[in-house]
Homo-oligomer: A and B are copies of this chain.
Amino acid sequence: GQALNIALLPGDGIGPEVMDVAEAVLDLLIQRYQLPLGHTRFDWPSHAWHQSHGQMMPSDGVAQLREFDAMLLGALGDPGPLEDSSRFVLSDSVSLAPLLALRKQLDLWACERPARWLPGAPQYLADPRAREVDMLVIRENSEGEYSGQGGRLAPGTAQEVATQVEVFTARATERLIRHAFRRARQRSTQREVPRQFKNDKHAQVCLITKRNAQPFWGDLYTDTFHRIAAEFPDVDIHHELVDAACMKFVQCPWRFDVVVASNLHGDILTDLAAVLCGGPGLAPSANLNPDEPSLPALFEPVHGSAPDIAGQNLADPRATLMSLAMLLDNLAHHHPAIGSAAQHLHDLIQADLAREANGEAFSGTRETGQRLCQWLAA
């Protein structure tokens, strides 16, 4: 078959460092498994590009990327040091625009963020059952609170009124929720051991809304959820208000299986889920279009560009490597060797993390990469 092409987008801050590791690992996987894969690294979207071109990426950037089979992103954004948030290089809405543009213009409407705690990962929760966290948060990625509609009337005056319009469509809601049910069913068939849910079904979807205070789309989500649930009698259903869900993520995260949420709620819940699994340095994600497998999916760590630690060899590259493993999984239907490489990478990441279960500290961005490469070359 024809070679598949992967676009590597390092971005800003710690992005290039973690991408260096991912690129080296990818090269060794290609070699070892004879993968029909090529890759191209781009220096945009990024601040550096902005500095010389006045924009974050070329005007035909999205069109160029559309030709690839998958994309791996490091991180975007540079909000300046936390202590001095006035020192903005670029406003975050400018520096992050390419990320939202890629998600929206390529119609990557489903964002999947699996959250599994792996041995060796930091444990922020006291309850030992929290080690059994194994959920998949599916986030709406194309509309809702991120519709970008609204504005500022009389900005900077005492009379200012700012609006942000949340726009939700039946079409996007329905495809999102149906995808969540399909994933829950799929996960249940892949699971060897039954989950410890209160309920007795093997698969569960939890819908998140804030319908008691935001009834308009809350009702659209709820109605759609119940209608689609009827097509999946084998899947348990559950509803949580977003505030209560945050509480339960801390109190009993092992109870959740698939969680489906709007753009903003999903953003919040996935950051919370990431920390339950040891922090953003261990949380991968995929932005994809389940209806159009020919569109390149975008894989990225959940973490941001962390400018405060950039260039210091402190960033954990494993979230990016986990995202790379998801990327390979996603391309595995093209060639069985890609699936084997993905599995190998998953195993290596777990083995590397397990060292830390035995008390070893995280050894640095480059050292982590070198160790994995040694194992792969062995």
Contacts and interface: CB of A to CB of B under 8 A. Distances in A.
Interface stretch (A24-32, A53-61, A212-220, A366-374): A212-220
Interface string A219-241: 11011001000000000011100
Interface stretch (A64-72, A144-152, A330-338, A339-347): A144-152
A216 B162 contact: yes
Interface secondary structure of A, over-half rule = mixed
Contacts of A271: 243-244, 246-247
Nearest to A240: B82
A98 to B, nearest CB: 12
Given A124-B125, A126-B124, A247 B220 contact: no
A124 B251 contact: yes
Interface of A: 77, 79, 82-83, 85-86, 91-93, 96, 100, 123-127, 145-146, 150-152, 154-171, 174, 199, 210-220, 222-223, 226, 237-239, 242-244, 246-247, 250-251, 263-264, 267-268, 270-272, 274-276, 279-280, 304
B169 A161 contact: yes
Contacts of A83: 199, 238
A250 B250 contact: yes
Given A124-B251, A213-B267, A162 B220 contact: yes
A243 B219 contact: no
A27 to B, nearest CB: 32
12 contacts: A77-B212, A83-B199, A83-B238, A85-B222, A124-B251, A150-B165, A161-B170, A163-B217, A247-B272, A247-B274, A250-B250, A272-B272
A126 B275 CA distance: 13
Contact of A251 (B126, B151, B159, B275): B275
Q: Which of A162, A271, A280 lies at the interface centre, i.e. has the most chain B CB atoms within 10 A of its CB? A: A162
Contact of A170 (B160, B174, B264): B160
A290 B93 CA distance: 33
Given A92-B211, A212-B96, A213-B146, A152 B247 contact: no
A92 B217 contact: no
A162 B151 contact: no
Nearest to A151: B216
A70 to B, nearest CB: 24
Contacts of A164: 165-166, 168, 214, 216-217
